[in-house]
Amino acid sequence: MIGTGIFSTPSSILALSGSVGLALFIWVAGMLIAAAGMAVYLEFGTGLPRNGGEKNYLEFVYTKPKFLVTGFYTGYVILLGWAGSNSVAFGEYILNAADVEVNRWNQRGIGLACVTVAFLIHGLALKWGLRLLNVLGIIKLVILLIIIISGFAALGGHLKIDKPDNFTNAFSGTTGSPYGVVTALYNVIWSYIGYSNANYAMSEMKNPVRTIKIAAPVAIICVGIMYMLANIAYFAAVPREEIANSGRILAASFFRNVFGPKAEKALSVFVALSAFGNVLSVIFSQGRLVQELGREGILPFSGFFASNKPFNAPFTGLFEHWIVSVIIMLAPPPGDAYNFILNVISYPLAIVNVFVAGGLIHLYLHRDAFNWHPPFSATLPVTIFFLLSNIYLVVAPYVPPDTPDQNVYESLPYYLHCVVGTGVILAGGVYWCVWAKLLPWLGGYKLRKETFESEDGWTRSVFVKEKRGE
């Protein structure tokens, strides 16, 4: 879960909410939504403990029309570059540490190097990639603990600047527009987004049900507490105006105010390493999602994407995600790149989560028909809360901002990520119409799914064309 979100997004959350008090309430709301989401994914993960995450859960519930939900989900997986945003943030923090002015190409050039190295490590040296992930995970925790402990010192007045007074009249300046609140919520949820990553690789865990039942709740509780304390630390050490204008290098401003300019440069490198750790985590899981779609026979040239050859890793799945991440990282205008990537990924995830939560409610109402009795239950009230939260996240971004300065973009329409995000999922529906309906109708055949064990020991599926009447 811990990537660049907690180091990069608090400034935009404050700017969108207008006050320290509302910003902290939004962090609490985002934490509750993430905790509910973790519970929903934990129930599905313990009930269907295999690689694939939401793909398995949606296919289990939404069986008709045949393969339609898989088509929608394919567009969502194949066309979104999750690793792009943290790669951009990695570039920004590295340049800040080097005291180099950020421009369109140096930031993205370093980001390109970041995502490329992550792809090559996981594609060519799987075990070393996992070891590096663990090392960077420890670094992330250490950085957060440094910020939290320093925050307590800042509350006591130990600063290189005059002590900010952010907690007096904490709600003064509150805007609270629907657009501002929902966009701020997206930023918070983005900081927690990794709570579902483990579900994508459950076939590769030892004792996956026991592991995830312990790891997931511990993780969400620890991260939630640390995120709230980190926000209090920022407000204790950085003046409100400086937070709102600091962009994605808020953590650097914090270190400068507490420890001085030299510490700012050094710790900016460690924040960049945290971003790199998140890129490693994301590309690891997303590459396996692409591979799982290949193993299900959904993609063109499925055997190519399904293979673990030659390095016992999903190289082709990782490569596909690398290509999309690079495109989505280089395409937007310079000032809007990070926010656009963040929102265009978060928005379709909210759509997917509406159907995931709705599917679990359906299972609760028809347990016997689906033989649904997993070893963990999210409970109906929690699932309904997660469903309603995501419906709000889907609908509210279409409400225009009250003033132009509330638009999260500098030069893009406020709703662009909603349109693009919805288009990505609908593109999967178009693919289904062509692959599962139009071509079989034109060719006079129907598709039948056959499953077998491949040479590498994994289960694979292919779709066999049967002439109608056979």
Amino acid at 339: N
Q: Are 83 and 325 in contact (CB under 8 A)?
A: yes
d(CA 326, CA 306): 22
Question: Which of 94-98, 318-322, 380-384 is predicted with the least confidence, judged by mean pLDDT?
Answer: 94-98
Q: Are 35 and 399 in contact (CB under 8 A)?
A: no
Q: Is residue 454 predicted with pLDDT exceeding 70?
A: no
Q: Are 23 and 261 in contact (CB under 8 A)?
A: no
Of 232, 272, 266, the residue nearest 248 (C-alpha): 272
d(CA 391, CA 330): 30
Q: Are 136 and 274 in contact (CB under 8 A)?
A: yes
Q: Residue 136: what pLDDT? A: 86
Q: Residue 227: what pLDDT? A: 94
Q: Residue 411: what pLDDT? A: 77
Q: Residue 469: what pLDDT? A: 64
Maximum CA extent, the chain: 82
Among 98-112, 129-143, 356-370, top mean pLDDT goes to 356-370
Task: For 303-323, give one letter per residue: b (16+ CB within 10 A) or e.
Answer: eebbbbeeeebbbbbbebbbe
Q: How many CA atoms lie within 13 A of 253 on its CB side?
A: 22
What average pLDDT score do residues 354-364 get?
94
Q: Are 122 and 280 in contact (CB under 8 A)?
A: yes
At the fourth CATH level, the homologous superfamily of domain 5-435 is Amino acid/polyamine transporter I (1.20.1740.10)
Q: Is residue 456 predicted with pLDDT exceeding 60?
A: no
CB atoms within 10 A of CB 269: 14
d(CA 62, CA 459): 22
d(CA 312, CA 401): 49
Task: State the pLDDT confidence band at 185, using cuts at 50, 70 and 90.
Answer: confident
To the nearest whole number, what is the mean pLDDT of the chain? 83
Question: Which of 349-358, 431-440, 442-451 is predicted with the least confidence, judged by mean pLDDT?
Answer: 442-451
Q: What is the pLDDT of residues 57-76, one digit of tens each?
A: 998 999 888 888 888 888 88
Q: Residue 457: what pLDDT? A: 60
Q: Residue 96: what pLDDT? A: 78
> Domain-by-domain residue ranges, the chain?
5-435
Q: What is the pLDDT of residues 196-241, one digit of tens each?
A: 878 887 877 888 889 999 999 999 999 999 999 999 998 888 888 8
Q: Is residue 336 predicted with pLDDT exceeding 80?
A: no
Q: What is the pLDDT of residues 124-150, one digit of tens each?
A: 887 888 888 888 888 888 888 988 998
Q: Residue 343: what pLDDT? A: 78
Q: What is the pLDDT of residues 278-289, one digit of tens each?
A: 888 888 888 888
Q: Is residue 383 predicted with pLDDT exceeding 90?
A: yes
Q: Are 154 and 372 in contact (CB under 8 A)?
A: no
